[in-house]
Chains A and B, each alone.
Chain A
């Protein structure tokens, strides 16, 4: 295919929606590129031709994106692979002669404390505590060094919190609201930097449609500013959850919890080494024992589920005081954030009922 758009990471949340919007929008020039064939299961309803390309191997990627003039990098994967994957995608785009690389980064690279007027090309926070954010930042730094190449434009998009039907932020929040473990820091006035998934897809496609975009970084997000309290309240209302059940945690410095320790263990090489060697049957048995132990706790009167499930990542997100300025993107590309907060919330709530959350029939 000549002139097409290769979507690397097409089996993910954003990639799947991008493919769906493109196909149902009548486009035939978007090519899903997946690392493993199983990723096509998520979009098998579309009946698309696809290509297999491993972002861990530049040669494999280059042939997968051959003939495409735009490459969209939506790969996620392991945090430790973000930089190498980005390097490989870039190398493949160069090798394939693409004119544009659209790279999805994250506003997480700035941590929670940044000024309201943070420029789009501000460098990432060095040494971020969260591996994902730190590696996303390193990937940005790498792309920054390649932006001088006139043959390949590089556009980096930085959304903060991608939400909408299918988003873990919608599902996780809805689940916590229903089981009573939802929480807000202080009065919930922290800024919830939302970007509705359809708005993000439209932003990506707008960049791809630009005939000659200059290499640049862009903050992107929904047009409206929403606080965490407003976001939770809207979801709670749609799910008929009493908002007074949302735990209010005193604002202040984050105090590390047991879960942080477990996350550290799960991210370690030793854990992965062990996990790869434990037979499936044994893992299934262990999971069952843990589940039984938890259910014993639940039935013994301890309020396991109603405790606030605090994570450092969500705490930091809730303590953000500003939304990133998105004016530069809006001035460069046509209006893309056309789905409003209320419309996005309505779709999200309908989706939650579709999957069985808040559905009276279930």
Chain B
């Protein structure tokens, strides 16, 4: 079997996402000869320098344009701040590169549509970093649900929340102007994608959050409905929510911990819980009939996700999540923000809740509309 050529990659944005999530996967790809990081792009030379120590073949650039002019890369991994995703992805696609864009794909539907159009026009792959699609438990849950094991009339409650601890360098994530939103954009990008992956297309029917003048939401609640299922997603940046996706149907129920790659329980009503032992595997390299592996944790999933994107480039296989999936999530988020209601927070006194309702950012939007 002929070994596929090593593909060159560029990484745009060398902050915490790459440092904490991508670095190990990229090093593993290099060690296995699957890909090589040849360009690191960030306006902060300290960041490219620190990351460059792990990638000897990589050259540092302060702008993507410089990198694309100097290096011939197959795939650009966009891990820059979300507000720059569209600009970076469209530039990379325009230069003939394929793109893997971290979540959220964009802030707003318009940019998402531009990215999808750019990929289509360039005939290039546009993948979105929905790493949870690589979780074995998600693959298993999909199988359990699609097999009809849970029956019909599916209802779900999806909670995800904990006190925010991502090591951001600036407060861009906490400003509407720069982040486009708060926990809905952040955790919600994953949550909405997971729900639609498992339960089919879902439409936002109502949305409430706690964002006040000048702030972004730290708690939100989304009600969704679709042909197969309906339910609620609750997300938080400051409350220790009992994190789980709980799906109930006429015949049974399923509980998935969306932060664990292998946690899945399901049962028929009245029966004991089954703990699913996953057998889901993903290709480990670019060989057509090469090795496969099972992710053990989130970092492994990032590795397999990049391999999947590279295989899409080389073999034309489908990517775990493409630009249209990212666009669908962007549309759902925009539908939420179009008409936000104040969220009822149980720890507030009546007077505080009234004041919060008055300070709620939705009032500004409605007034502006």
A residues contacting B by CB (< 8 A) are 16-17, 20-21, 23-26, 36-38, 40-48, 50, 164-166, 171, 198, 279-281, 284-285, 288, 291, 295, 299, 347, 350-351, 353-357, 361-362
The answer, among A26, A37, A50, A166, for a CB contact under 8 Å with B355, is A26
- Expressed in whole angstroms, the Cα–Cα distance for A16 and B246 within the complex equals 30
The answer, among B164, B215, B244, B262, for a CB contact under 8 Å with A46, is B215
B297 pairs with A40, CB closer than 8 A:
no
Count contacts on B: residues with CB < 8 A to the other chain.
58
B241 pairs with A280, CB closer than 8 A:
no
- Expressed in whole angstroms, the Cα–Cα distance for A47 and B167 within the complex equals 19
Q: List 7 A-B contacts (CB under 8 A).
A: A20-B352, A23-B212, A44-B164, A45-B209, A45-B210, A47-B216, A356-B242
B213 close to A (CB within 8 Å): yes
Give residues of chain B (157-202) contacting chain A, Cβ–Cβ below 8 Å.
157, 159, 161, 163-171, 173-174, 182
B299 close to A (CB within 8 Å): yes
The answer, among A50, A291, A347, A355, for a CB contact under 8 Å with B240, is A355
- Expressed in whole angstroms, the Cα–Cα distance for A198 and B221 within the complex equals 25
A357 to chain B, nearest CB (A): 6
B215 pairs with A362, CB closer than 8 A:
no
A43 pairs with B168, CB closer than 8 A:
no
Chain A residues within an 8 Å CB radius of B174: 40-41, 44
A45 pairs with B24, CB closer than 8 A:
no
A153 to chain B, nearest CB (A): 29
Q: Give how many A-B residue pairs fall within 8 Å (CB-CB).
A: 134
A165 pairs with B217, CB closer than 8 A:
no
Given A46-B215, A284-B299, 4 more A-B residue pairs with CB atoms under 8 Å apart are A44-B164, A351-B346, A355-B241, A362-B159
Give residues of chain B (329-363) contacting chain A, Cβ–Cβ below 8 Å.
345-349, 351-352, 355-356, 359
Closest 5 A/B residue pairs (Cβ):
A41-B164, A47-B214, A47-B215, A356-B242, A165-B347
Chain B residues within an 8 Å CB radius of A20: 348, 352
Chain A residues within an 8 Å CB radius of B260: 288, 291
Chain B residues within an 8 Å CB radius of A351: 346-347
B246 to chain A, nearest CB (A): 6
Residue of B whose beta carbon sits closest to that of A41: B164
Which of A347, A355, A361 has the most chain B CB atoms inside 10 A of its CB? A355
With A164-B347, A165-B346 given, is the CB distance from A24 to B238 under 8 Å?
A: no
With A44-B216, A45-B217, A281-B297 given, is the CB distance from A24 to B348 under 8 Å?
A: yes
A37 pairs with B161, CB closer than 8 A:
no
With A43-B238, A285-B297, A354-B346 given, is the CB distance from A362 to B210 under 8 Å?
A: no
A188 to chain B, nearest CB (A): 26
The prevalent SS among residues of A at the interface is helix
B344 to chain A, nearest CB (A): 9
A75 to chain B, nearest CB (A): 16
With A45-B219, A165-B347, A284-B299 given, is the CB distance from A38 to B166 under 8 Å?
A: yes
Chain A residues within an 8 Å CB radius of B261: 288
- Expressed in whole angstroms, the Cα–Cα distance for A17 and B218 within the complex equals 14
- Expressed in whole angstroms, the Cα–Cα distance for A283 and B345 within the complex equals 35
The answer, among A45, A284, A355, A356, for a CB contact under 8 Å with B297, is A284
Residue of A whose beta carbon sits closest to that of B28: A281
B218 pairs with A357, CB closer than 8 A:
no
A147 to chain B, nearest CB (A): 34
- Expressed in whole angstroms, the Cα–Cα distance for A55 and B7 within the complex equals 47
The answer, among B238, B242, B297, B349, for a CB contact under 8 Å with A41, is B238
- Expressed in whole angstroms, the Cα–Cα distance for A15 and B305 within the complex equals 40
Residue of B whose beta carbon sits closest to that of A26: B355
B244 pairs with A45, CB closer than 8 A:
no
B321 close to A (CB within 8 Å): no
Chain B residues within an 8 Å CB radius of A43: 218, 238
- Expressed in whole angstroms, the Cα–Cα distance for A115 and B260 within the complex equals 49
Chain B residues within an 8 Å CB radius of A48: 214-215
B207 close to A (CB within 8 Å): no
